[in-house]
Amino acid sequence: MLEKARELLQTYFGYPSFRIGQEQAISSVLQGNNTVCVMPTGGGKSIVYQIPALILPGTTLVVSPLISLMKDQVDTLHQLGIPAAFINSSLSPQEAAATMEEAVHGGYKLLYVAPERLESYEFQEMLNSIQIPLVAVDEAHCISQWGHDFRPSYLQIARLMDKLQDNTVVLALTATATPRVREDICDSLAIDSANSVLTGFERENLSFSVIKGQDRLAFLKDYVKKNHNEAGIIYAATRKTVDQLYEWLKKEGIDAVRYHAGMRDVDRASEQERFLKDQADVMVATSAFGMGIDKSNIRYVVHYQMPKNMESYYQEAGRAGRDGLQSECTMLYSPQDVQIQRFLIDQSSEQGRMSQELEKLQQMADYCHTESCLQAYILEYFGEEEAEPCGRCGNCTDTRTSVEVTKEAQMVLSCIIRMGQKFGKAITAAVLTGSRNKKVLDLGFNKLSTYGILKEHSAKQVTELIEFLISTNLIGVEHGAYPTIYVAPAGKEVLTGKQQVFRKEAVQIKQVSNDDPLFEELRQLRKSVAEAEHVPPFVIFSDSSLKDMCARLPQTE
Ligand code: ADP
Ligand code: MG
Ligand code: ZN
């Protein structure tokens, strides 16, 4: 049957060979296995169900949440001479009835259906008199609470499967499956996880970078001008920002179009059309733009603000370079982005989903603060183990040398412990920099030995150091009513001197002087060791002469 699949790939679709993963997934489906297929956006998931649909008898059902996409897909199939149709809310009741009537007579190889339709009476009626060998669930992450786009209507798919013949195969397809989402998909659709086809998420032609601490508008202006005549997308978090950037780019003489949900449908459609037809260079948009568009020559995607999670980021950034040519994905990061996204999550999240969304937001922020390979970070986020550094992202090509910041890290970690591990970043930075902030004083934190030990730095620098330590998993974040920080297991290794910390963006402390409170603390520590009565669980050392002694301290984990 695989022979047949290859033949159809050439005769119907005109492609010489399968891409990675396609053949394996098709073969799994044709052997009658429930299968999950995880491939990056643009990886070619449609063919994975379209080819089996042509080979298997009867009609393949395709569940898809994207109404506009269904029409495009069906149009494309018609051009290829494949009988297909869709049922969704864009059809009148008469049209829907006529389509179902035709389906009952076996008129289609593929029938696309919106998930909300599955339990309608008419649809259920139709199921009784039609042969369905395969149900393809597109954008299958919608089934999981852990996905970035959970849709309750997707839960109906499991009930649908119960009603179909026992030998009906289910094929779940998605581009955004973290291990947890994948597990949910497999559980809900009775897929043996052994039948997972996962292809590399690496996009070798994309170079990722994060730009921090710069005037974003100035950066964007230079960037867009430098890349003029190339197609690019600029994503912003809010409609208002999209409008502002658009006006501003126009004023600069840049050929920009825009897209967001606040515009009239006709305007949106015409702006999209101009961009797709290469009549405009730059699309400025909210995340509403891009789902399902197939424009291959996008040379860059700039995120003017940080999105709410890695799934959204990789999906949006991944729209660059579908043609395989070198393309850039740049994020312009500012810490206030986290506040904005937090606010949006607060506004929109359902009860019970908040902590998941906040955890994802944290992982997104970690991406912005990490100094390791960005591509590797992405791959590991999506479940690859130990991804190799890419050698081309902003961090891999950062030529600054790393400096040791173990001491500074220990100061921060030890301060967190002294504060009881139940406060946020901002107040921790305030304590470390010796702020006279009312809350600091009210809580008596000015009496801590770590009060002011990083006073030669600004609160902003220290906050950034904390964020860096979060991104390297030395500090953990607890997402309660407001986020609090604690010392993670790896952070304890740093505190006890078993692990060093290096950073390119160094916050250097001055030489510790003899009258430094820290020094006094270490003297006390030495005393207590000498007296062998009390050994504090965490040790900070700030002076190499004390290193030996600290190394000899018993481990009291
Ligand atoms: P996905 O759903 O994974 O985002 P699509 O199914 O929309 O991706 O396919 C993306 C593009 O790749 C389409 O233009 C499609 O025609 C093309 N494509 C798919 N499979 C192949 C192949 N084997 N060889 C060449 N191009 C392919
Ligand atoms: Mg698709
Ligand atoms: Zn890299």
Pairing assessment for the beta strands 169-174 and 327-333 based on DSSP bridges: unpaired
389 alpha carbon – ligand 3 mean position (Å): 5
* pLDDT tens digits, one per residue of 309-342: 998 899 899 999 988 899 999 999 988 888 888 8
Which residue's CA lies nearest to atom 13 of ligand 1? 44
Ligand 1 pocket mutation pick from 13, 50, 295 by most atoms within 8 angstroms of CB: 13
On the question of pLDDT at 545 being above 60, the answer is no
Average pLDDT over residues 250-256: 94
**Residue 364 pLDDT grade (very low, low, confident, very high; cuts 50, 70, 90):** very high
Q: What's the whole-number mean pLDDT along residues 177-198? A: 90
Residue whose CA is closest, atom 24 of ligand 1?
A: 15
From the alpha carbon of 9, which atom of ligand 1 is closest? 23
Please say whether the beta carbons of 313 and 364 come within 8 A: yes
- What residue ranges in 153-281 does DSSP mark as E strands? 169-174, 196-198, 206-212, 231-235, 256-259
DSSP state letters, 322-378: TTSS-EEEEEEE-THHHHHHHHHHHHHPPTTTHHHHHHHHHHHHHHHH--S-HHHHH
User: Each residue of 484-515: pLDDT tens digit?
Assistant: 999 999 999 999 888 999 998 765 444 444 45
> What local confidence, expressed as pLDDT, does residue 111 receive?
97
Lowest-confidence pick of 78-92, 240-254, 372-386, 455-469: 372-386
pLDDT of residue 553 exceeding 50, the answer is no
Residue 86 has pLDDT above 50, yes or no: yes
Closest ligand to 48 CA?
1
Query: What tokens does 46 get?
Result: 């449609």
Strand partners, 476: 486
For ligand 1, atom 27, which residue shows the shortest CA distance? Answer: 44
Please state the rounded mean pLDDT for residues 113-136. Answer: 93
Rounded (10°) CA dihedral 174, 177, 179, 183: -40
Measured in whole angstroms, how far is the alpha carbon of residue 554 from the centre of its chain? 42
| Residue 382: closest CA among 547, 180, 207 | 180
Region 7-29: mean pLDDT is 92
What is the predicted pLDDT for the residue at 527?
52
Query: What are the two backbone dihedrals, phi and then psi, of residue 506, each rounded to the nearest 5 degrees?
Result: -85, 135
What is the average per-residue pLDDT within 172-188?
89
Atom 20, ligand 1: residue with shortest CA distance:
44
- The mean predicted confidence, pLDDT, of the chain is 87
Higher pLDDT, 409 or 341: 409
Highest mean pLDDT among 74-83, 507-516, 527-536: 74-83
Ligand 1 atom index nearest CA of 294: 14
Least confident of 63-77, 223-237, 417-431, 513-527: 513-527
- Ligand nearest the Cα atom of residue 379: 3
Residue 201 Cβ inside 6 Å of ligand 1? The answer reads no
What are the CA-CA distances from residue 81 to residues 48, 74, 108 (Å)? 18, 10, 11
| For range 436-440, the mean pLDDT | 94
Ligand 1 centroid, distance to 246 Cα (angstroms): 31
| Measured distance CA(261)–CA(327) in Å, rounded | 27
Structure confidence at residue 253 (pLDDT): 92
In DSSP terms, which residues pair with 259 in a beta bridge? 285
According to the model, what pLDDT value does residue 546 have? 42
State the pLDDT at residue 539.
Answer: 36
pLDDT, position 356: 83
- Among 40-49, 272-281, 519-528, top mean pLDDT goes to 272-281
Angle between helices 2-11 and 22-30 (to 10 degrees): 130
In this prediction, residue 177 has a pLDDT band, given cuts at 50, 70 and 90, of low
CA dihedral 339, 340, 346, 350 (to 10 degrees): -130
Residue 55 to residue 228: CA distance in whole angstroms: 46
* pLDDT higher than threshold 50 for residue 526: no
What is the pLDDT averaged over residues 86-94? 93
Higher pLDDT: 400 or 249? It is 249
The closest ligand to the CA of 39 turns out to be 1
Once rounded to an integer, what is the mean pLDDT over residues 124-141?
94
pLDDT band at 520 (very low <50, low <70, confident <90, very high): low
Predicted confidence band of residue 550 (pLDDT cuts 50, 70, 90)? very low
The residue type at 435? S
pLDDT of 537 strictly over 60 = no
Whether the pLDDT of residue 351 is over 70: the answer is no
Confidence of residue 535 (pLDDT cuts 50, 70, 90): very low
| pLDDT of amino acid 555 | 38
Nearest atom of ligand 1 to the alpha carbon of 41: 4
For ligand 1, whether the C-beta of 46 sits within 6 Å is yes
pLDDT of residue 99: 96
ipTM: 0.97
Nearest ligand 1 atom to the CA of 138 is: 2
Q: Among 11, 15, 76, say which to mutate for ligand 1: greatest number of ligand atoms within 8 Å of CB.
A: 15
Q: Is residue 450 within 8 Å of residue 432, measured between CB atoms?
A: yes
Question: What separation in Å is there between the alpha carbon of 13 and the centre of ligand 1?
Answer: 10
Closest ligand 1 atom to the C-alpha of 175?
3
Instruction: Please spell the DSSP secondary structure of 154-180, one letter per residue.
Output: GGHHHHHHHHS-TT-EEEEEES---HH
* H helical segments located in 60-146: 67-79, 93-104, 121-128
Global model pTM greater than 0.80: no
Q: Which ligand is nearest to the CA of 38?
A: 1
Q: Which two tokens stand for residue 437?
A: 């902030």
Residue 166: name the closest of 123, 133, 189, 195 by CA.
Answer: 133
pLDDT at 53 over 70: yes
Inter-residue contact 62 to 49 (CB < 8 Å): yes
pLDDT above 70 covers a percentage of the chain that reads 90
430, pLDDT greater than 90:
yes
What confidence score (pLDDT) does residue 541 get? 38
Ligand nearest to the CA of 44: 1
Is residue 18 lining ligand 1, measured as CB closer than 6 Å? yes
42 CB within 6 A, ligand 1: yes
Average pLDDT of 227-248? 94
Q: What is the amino acid identity at position 370?
A: T
